[in-house]
Structure 1
Amino acid sequence: MAVSVTLPALGESVTEGTVTRWLKAEGERVEADEPLLEVSTDKVDTEIPAPSAGVLTSIKVAEDETVEVGAELAVIDDGGAAPAEAPAAEPAPAAEPAPAAQPEPAPAPAAEAPAPAAAAPAGGAEGTDVVLPALGESVTEGTVTRWLKEVGESVEADEPLLEVSTDKVDTEIPAPVAGTLLEILVGEDETAEVGAKLAVIGAAGAAPAAAPAEAPAAPAPAPEPVQEAPAPAPAPQAPSAPAPQAVTPEPVAPEPAPAAPAPAPAPAATIPAPAAPEAEGAYVTPLVRKLAAENNVALSTVKGTGVGGRIRKQDVIAAAEAAKAAQAAQAQAPAAAAPKAAPQEVSPLRGQTIKMPRMRKVIGDNMMKALHSQAQLTSVVEVDVTKVMRLRARAKEAFAQREGVKLSPMPFFVKAAVQALKAHPAINARINEDDNTITYFDVENVGIAVDAEKGLMTPVIKNAGDLNIAGLSKKTAELAGKVRSNKITPDEVSGATFTISNTGSRGALFDTIIVPPNQVAILGIGATVKRPVVITHPELGETIAVRDMTYVALSYDHRLVDGADAARYLTAVKEILEAGEFEVDLGL
């Protein structure tokens, strides 16, 4: 039967896509959900999986051609009869040494051939299904990038079970219940639709143990002449597993004749096997490794507080803060020599050539689109934030106890920025290219740039103009935590009318930041540093004092925002911060 491959909907505003590369040629066999081609849109580049297994008989759209959503891209011929004939022909020679048994094996494969195919989805495992949840309004499918557990391992309820990548975000899927992972149905790098079954979790049983039982039987192929007619049964099974791994089960299958249908899940169970070498102790996420590397924390010295002794982000942060406290204590002692630079470890990427990550490509495309479609430039002002820093120092302990989050300087900048936006609508606006109009927003949805392991992401604080310092602190911490734990949803990274980037968090004085698409301005916060400044004292007159100083930069689209508009907005932000009238918000 011919199956049509069409261009799926890849987002609300995406109406067409360009075929950039075919991963299969006409006449080649493809498996269900195997990547078939690569498509580029104005938002993301993504792979289109095969809707079913079969032979790619016709390619309708060539590379570099652009088609609309729903257009036919190719045709796959699902020839189900061909695999059934091959096993039927093999039993005759296999049964030659035992002519008496020849009449019975011949029908056996024909009867059993459909049985493994039907058993493959069920896998013989009974328990709770793990399904791909809805990850956003326009997200219809996701690709399994990594299994965090292997078949046979125990999992806790809500413990991260696997990582899934979509065209918008990468996230972790938690286990719905506690139990044992009995079966994995979707392997790594395979794509499944929302609602598809990914795995089965049940009580500890013998199902996962079937795969290890099969391995020791492999060295004993002596009973080959026995009427092992089910031997061809794994052959039709091979297409359902990733291509190279399906070859191994064929020589193994002749030995355990009675268990031939049961080992069906064995090839799937081998998919997450590469994760085993990493699991010398508790599983450590890439985020935790990155945090540990950035803070020079040896993971071997950190005691994990997560499930099964798993090292969490909070454990690394606590270890880093303890190390900083020890360093501060040493710094207070008289230092005989200048401080030494921190040791720089050689990156494992040095000398490597790798494929550009999908998220990096999306970020790059968006930045290039913004630069090519806007007339961008940057204005900078210097701000004395001494009063803000003193207020924060006075309030941070009581604030943390009362609100449950740390009081960082960032909410003060966000508060000042959104207050100024209400008086300067040209900064919080959008140019509508289609009808040559301008939309001045009556709401302040502020995107907060977050440095994540897979690249810069910008979750959005909706209605930020209605929040106080405590509300902004909680929302910022919540969204940043979701980004770094891969739990952010597409809805939480869309809808920004204005963006703020804390470029000073890594020590930069200021940056000429790029205005995101569909916005006209972005505010950059530089590092806060203590330095001598000339100030006017009511009694001493002009004098030099040590102050907390920072640079605040505004990049804007000159098509709508003039330099005077940018300067007026920056001056308003500067006045709000230097006045530092946040006592009511802080309960002082």
Structure 2
Amino acid sequence: KVDTEIPAPVAGVLLEIVVGEDETAEVGAKLAVIGAPGAAPAAAPAQPAAPAQEAPKAEAPKAEAPKQEAPAAPAPAAPAPAPVQAPSAPAAPAPAPAQPAPATPAPAAPAAPTGDDGAYVTPLVRKLASENNVDLSSVKGTGVGGRIRKQDVVAAAEAAKAAAAAPAPAAAPAAAKAPKLEASPLRGQTVKMTRMRKVIGDNMMKALHSQAQLTSVLEVDITKLMKLRNQAKAAFAAREGVKLSPMPFFVKAAAQALKAHPVINARINEDEGTITYFDSENIGIAVDAEKGLMTPVIKGAGDLNIAGIAKKTAELAGKARGGGLTPDDMSGATFTISNTGSRGALFDTVIVPPNQAAILGIGATVRRPVVINHPDLGETIAVRDMTYLSLSYDHRLVDGADAARYLTSVKAILEAGEFEVELGL
């Protein structure tokens, strides 16, 4: 039930085919005769076998002679002429080739075709490789003992054709030069802390020493969101007068999820021993200003659409960098978002501000291969826009399961990307 090639055990020329194509042969039967180039078909050696069997018949009558005469001297003489009188004298020299055969006929014959690694290669395979310009030394055999089969050569030839047909890779772009970093004039100096730096430091120390803080991290696929943004940003800017960055989408998702998970939008009143769950989503936006970190607040973010959030974010960020923030702009936050990804951070373990239960960190958006479930292809690999969301929270109020549920809700909103109506698409 197996159709396979069987290489000849020795090199030489095919002198005789004993079993023809499509004939059935017994196990161990002679299939063909192989000899040295120029040798005659070895059919003659089969005839001496018959005289060899007749010779004992000639000796049989001589066996009775010793019984009649004690001297057996003439008896040995009778067998001597027997080979001379044997029929088919021309076949008598046939035994002569039998003697040199065990000697060293193999060296006289041409060497068996082999690959460069010494493995045996059949003439058919070598011819096929030559016709297809396949280097046998580069082909890995799949036959017994690593033997190269014709299927291996065909596969190598097809692979070479496919490689030749493939477009040549574009020249790699010149590597971007590393930015030249200038030495800061602050090196080697001791300066007085600014009031802003002191306030930031005091607030961070107070938060860390008054809360049981830890962080949960979750990965989000924002590919659909980024496509929608790219499609709408030109028309959005013309219509609303502000640029459409990814930030309003994160603020919108965070605010919607806070409505379903009020424990994240809450505060512990330590003196009274109570918890306040806020009915408004006032989200602080951490801004990297020249004087230091500032956190203006988008009041009622849960009631704003994408356009409203984008306009308010641009207004407050402009004030923060221009020094125009008022105390009202900086107060009343019930939850905070920090976008350290805008500066390239993969994710961050942000510190929960005082009088809040949690803060959301947004990591850098990275395009990379991801396994996805395609409706038609099933599990497949695709390049996606991925980002990490990290939620730091006060474990006195928020449990790990609460944090995970909130992050999962934010993830679902962002990955669904159902913002077409708000974007006018």
TM-score interval (norm. to shorter): 0.5 to 0.7
The answer to whether the aligner puts 1:380 opposite 2:380 as a matched pair is no
Displacement, 1:334?
A: 4.9
**Residue in 2 that maps onto 1:339:** 176
Residue 536 of structure 1: aligned partner = 373
| 1:440 aligned onto 2:277 | yes
Q: Read off the aligned partner of 2:388 and give its amino acid letter.
A: Y
Cα shift at 1:339: 2.1
Alignment of 1:356-395 (within 5 A): 356-395=193-232
SS of the residue 2:233 aligns to: helix
The equivalent residue for 2:342 is: 505
Deviation (angstroms), 1:335: 4.8
Partner of 1:131: none
CA 1:468–1:336: 2 relative to 1, 3 Å: closer
Matched, 1:418 2:247: no
Unaligned 5+ runs, structure 1 = 1-332
Hey, what does 2:421 align to over in structure 1?
Answer: 584
User: Given the alignment of the two structures, is residue 471 of structure 1 paired with residue 308 of structure 2, yes or no?
Assistant: yes
Deviations 1:161-198 (A, max 9, x none): xxxxxxxxxxxxxxxxxxxxxxxxxxxxxxxxxxxxxx
AA in 1 matched with 2:255: V
What amino acid maps onto 2:181 in structure 1? Q
Structural mapping, 1:43-442, within 5 Å: 334-335=171-172, 337-442=174-279
2: CA distance, partners of 1:396 / 1:337: 30
TM-score where L is the length of structure 1: 0.43
Determine whether 1:453 maps to 2:290: yes
Amino acid at match of 1:379: S
Superposed CA offset, 1:309-367 (max 9, x none): xxxxxxxxxxxxxxxxxxxxxxxx95564222111111111111111111001000000
1:551-588, Cα deviation, whole Å (9 max, x unpaired)? 00000000000000000000000000000000111011
Cα distance in 2 for partners of 1:370, 1:337 equals: 47
Alignment partners' CA distance in 1, 2:210 and 2:328: 25
Aligned AA (1:498): F
Gaps of at least 5 residues in structure 2 are: 1-169
Identical aligned residues as a percent = 83
Following superposition, the deviation at residue 493 of structure 1 comes to 0.2
Q: Which amino acid aligns with 2:271?
A: D
> TM-score if structure 2 supplies the norm length?
0.60
Equivalent-residue separation in structure 2 for 1:416 and 1:454 (angstroms):
30
Q: C-alpha distance in 2, partners of 1:338/1:445?
A: 44
Kindly provide the amino acid, as one letter, of the partner of residue 530 in structure 1. Answer: R
Q: Which has the higher strand share?
A: 1
Report what 1:492 is aligned to.
Answer: 329
SS in structure 1 of the partner of residue 386 of structure 2: strand
CA–CA separation in structure 2 for the residues paired with 1:448 and 1:337:
38
Write the distance in 2 (CA, Å) between the matches of 1:389 and 1:343.
31
Pair 1:518-2:355 in alignment: yes
Report how far residue 541 of structure 1 moved: 1.1
SS at match of 2:263: helix
* Structure with greater helix percent: 2
Separation (CA, whole Å) in 1 of partners of 2:317 and 2:180:
28
Match of 2:389 among 538, 543, 552: 552
Amino acid at match of 1:585: E
1:276-296 residue CA offsets vs partner (Å, 9 max, x unmatched): xxxxxxxxxxxxxxxxxxxxx
* SS of corresponding position for 1:347: coil
The equivalent of 2:407 in structure 1 is 570
Alpha-carbon distance in 2 for matches of 1:532, 1:357: 45
Secondary structure (helix, strand or coil) at the match of 1:426 reads: coil
Letter in 2 for 1:463: G
| Cα distance change of structure 1 residues 336 and 581 upon mapping to structure 2, 3 Å threshold | closer
Give CA deviations for 1:358-382 in whole Å, capped at 9, x if unaligned: 1001000000000000000000000
Match among 293, 302, 319 for residue 482 of structure 1: 319
CA RMSD between the two structures: 1.0
Question: Kindly tell me: are residues 544 and 336 of structure 1, through their superposed partners in 2, closer, same or farther at Cα, counting changes over 3 Å?
Answer: closer
Counterpart amino acid of residue 566 in structure 1? A
Distance 1:351 1:547 in 2: 45
Residue aligned with 1:550, SS: strand
Q: Deviations over 1:382-421 (max 9, x none)?
A: 0000000000000000000000000000000000000000
> Alpha-carbon deviations, 1:479-526, whole Å to 9, x = none?
000010001001100000000010101000000000000001000000
Q: Give the distance between the partners of 1:359 and 1:416, measured in 2 at CA.
A: 31
Q: Distance in 1 between matches of 2:174 and 2:274?
A: 63
